[in-house]
Amino acid sequence: MEDKLEEDAPIYRLLSINRVSKMLGIRHANVKKLISKGKIKGIEISEKRIMISYQNLLDFLKGETANNENQNNKTISIEETERKIDLLFKKYENI
């Protein structure tokens, strides 16, 4: 069971906009534009900080856009992020 948690871990890893810009070889401002246009799904960490999960970056690279869930929602709210984290903890608490 512990191996499963380790397999899932990189998918849920959060990357800064700066890190993603370096990985993609594009400017910081262009990553922000991709988030605002809904091409990459951002995760709102605080009012001023948005990060990108590794999975969301992979989805972007595969050509899947963030618009699948909601056309107007470019980022995941703090509350939604907390809910998803709680679900992950519950899923793996008995490992």
Full-model pTM:
0.62
- The DSSP 8-state label assigned to residue 42 in this structure reads E
Q: How far apart are CA 78 and CA 86, in angstroms?
A: 12
pLDDT for residue 70 = 45
Tens of pLDDT, residues 53-91? 988 998 888 887 655 444 455 667 777 777 777 777 777
Residue 2's pLDDT is 44
pLDDT tops 90 at residue 34 = yes
**Per-residue pLDDT at 13:** 87
Residue 4: is its pLDDT beyond 70? no
At residue 74, the pLDDT reads 61
Residues in Cβ contact with 20 at an 8 Å cutoff, skipping those fewer than 6 apart: 31, 40, 52, 57
Beta strands at 75-76 and 42-44: parallel, antiparallel or unpaired = parallel
